[in-house]
Amino acid sequence: MKNFVVLISGNGSNLQAIIDACQKQSIAAKISAVFSDNPTAYGLERAKQAAIPTVVMQKADYADNHAYDASLMAEIARYQPDLIVLAGYMRILTPYFVSHYLGKIINIHPSLLPKYPGLDTHRKALANGDKEHGTSIHFVTEKLDSGPIILQAKVPIFAGDQPQDIIARVQTQEHRIYPLVINWFVKGRLAMVNNSAFLDGCKLPEYGYANED
């Protein structure tokens, strides 16, 4: 069976959705380990409850980002994963790390990329008077939140919404589509070729939506 590792920094709600999907066999692979840069991340407890090995690596224990990522790569190599899944992982990975795993790292970002890379996307959407917001799953490349988009999901923004209202709607969609995309990859349907995302041999649109069938 194929396997993948998940990198987290916080609560791990997407991790929980992925764990649940694996248990329901909606993902044809297993999570071999969960890594975190934050020893207090609740996602670590979610992993332990599912009997998934956890690895905590704190940035303060390393001289610089390159040293951290070199050690992270060595730890990941122990599990020989087919895929690396970023699920609320807040460290920016070095080009050294990304190039080593290029085409095998995916991330979920809470905006309709290319809109609002980086942090505080929900507040930015509200401040700009946007009528919709959403989430994007993409392959990870060296430039932050700029890799080939695989799948996006939109949610409406209503008058009177607060950031937490939008967060709840976006997370509902994230929990639906992230397991779907992971399963595409482990089944060999999804690949990154020449800096583009391909599903079943067909190039996906630069921005937009993929067929869920």
Q: What is the pLDDT along the chain (213 residues), one digit of tens a residue?
A: 999 999 999 999 999 999 999 999 999 999 999 999 999 999 999 999 999 999 999 999 999 999 999 999 999 999 999 999 999 999 999 999 999 999 999 999 999 999 999 999 999 999 999 999 999 999 999 998 999 999 999 999 999 999 999 999 999 999 999 999 999 999 999 999 999 999 999 999 887 654 333
**Strands lying side by side in the sheet with 202-203:** 190-193, 196-199, 202-203
Backbone angles phi, psi at 79, to 5 degrees: -100, -10
CB 177 within 8 Å of CB 135: yes
* Number of compact structural domains in the chain: 1
Residue 211 lies in a domain: no
Q: Active-site residues: which are they? A: 109
From residue 25, give the alpha-carbon distance in Å to each of 31, 87, 110, 133. 12, 19, 26, 30
Please report whether residue 77 resides in a domain. Answer: yes
Number of H helices and number of E strands within the chain?
6, 10
pLDDT (0 to 100) of residue 212: 39
Is there a domain that residue 212 lies in?
Answer: no
Range of the domain at 14: 2-203
Q: Nearest to residue 22, comparing CAs of 196, 180, 199, 198?
A: 180
The beta strand positions in 61-208, using DSSP E, are 83-86, 105-109, 132-139, 149-156, 190-193, 196-199, 202-203
* pTM: predicted TM-score of the whole model, two decimal places: 0.94
38 domain residue, yes or no: yes
Q: What is the CATH number of the domain that holds 127?
A: 3.40.50.170
The reply to whether 208 falls in a domain is no
